């Protein structure tokens, strides 16, 4: 009886009922119940996982994934391309505008935002979605006006940004449109107009 008890996983929430009955019964019937309980316990959904170099044993249900397995599953094998890139300097913005005059894509969408702007955060998922839809037709950049270590405030002053969110569209090196406020429909419509492509 003691041998049977030791074979039950120590961290199991509960031994099999037949094993408990066998442990509390005496005689041949008790031994039969204990044996059946042991067999059923062996077939139950438990397994031993060895962790670390110390050989520490732990029990977990079959199909259970350790935190190491979950971390591996959650980690992308390839880093996805960032759809909306940050621009932090005046020269960086100027270079992006110049590129629209000399190659493809010839459309640039610049988002102006701040860290405290609630409507900007509401628009961010939509802008990201649009950047993926128009990935072959337009480049998307984002200027954070109050982000430390950047020239965001200087960019906004030069571009005359007084309210956020604000979206400016450049084509062939020239500013062709400006959309003020969290107006996803107006932004989509203007991008469609200047790229010649429908969002849906």
Q: Which residue has the tokens 């956020």?
A: 164
Q: Which of 200, 136, 138, 132 is nearest to 167 (CA)?
A: 138
Q: Is 164 a catalytic residue?
A: no
Q: Considering 87, 120, 143, 179, which one is annotated as catalytic?
A: 120
Q: Is 120 a catalytic residue?
A: yes
Start-to-end CA span in the chain (Å): 71
Pairing verdict, β 138-144 and 85-86: parallel
Q: Extract the tokens encoding 153.
A: 């405030």
Q: Considering 117, 123, 161, 179, which one is annotated as catalytic?
A: 117
**b/e 88-123 (16+ beta carbons within 10 angstroms → b):** beeebbeebbebbeeeebbbbbbbbbbeebeebeeb
Distance, in Å, from the CA atom of 114 to the CA atom of 143, rounded to the nearest integer, reads 8
Which residue(s) pair with 166 in the sheet? 112, 180
Q: Cβ(145)–Cβ(81) under 8 Å?
A: no
- How many beta carbons lie within 10 A of that of residue 18, not counting itself? 18
> Catalytic positions, please?
117, 120
């Amino acid at each position: 009886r003691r041998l049977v008890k030791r074979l039950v996983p120590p961290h199991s929430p509960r031994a099999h009922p037949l094993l408990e009955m066998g442990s509390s019964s005496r005689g041949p019937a008790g031994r039969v119940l204990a044996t059946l309980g042991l067999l059923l316990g062996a077939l139950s959904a438990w397994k031993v996982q060895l962790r670390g170099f110390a050989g520490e044993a732990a029990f977990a249900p079959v199909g259970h994934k350790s935190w190491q397995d979950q971390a591996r599953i959650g980690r992308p094998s390839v880093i996805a391309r960032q759809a909306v890139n940050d621009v932090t300097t005046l020269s960086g913005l100027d270079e992006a505008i110049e590129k629209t005059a000399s190659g493809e894509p010839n459309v640039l969408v610049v988002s102006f935002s701040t860290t405290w702007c609630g409507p900007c955060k509401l628009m961010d998922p939509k802008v990201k979605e649009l950047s993926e839809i128009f990935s072959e037709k337009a480049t998307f950049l984002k200027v954070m006006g109050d982000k430390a270590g950047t020239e965001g405030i200087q960019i906004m002053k030069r571009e005359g940004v007084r309210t956020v969110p604000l979206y400016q569209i450049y084509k062939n090196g020239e500013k062709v449109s400006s959309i003020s406020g969290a107006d996803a429909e107006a932004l989509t419509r203007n991008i469609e107009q200047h790229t010649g492509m429908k969002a849906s």
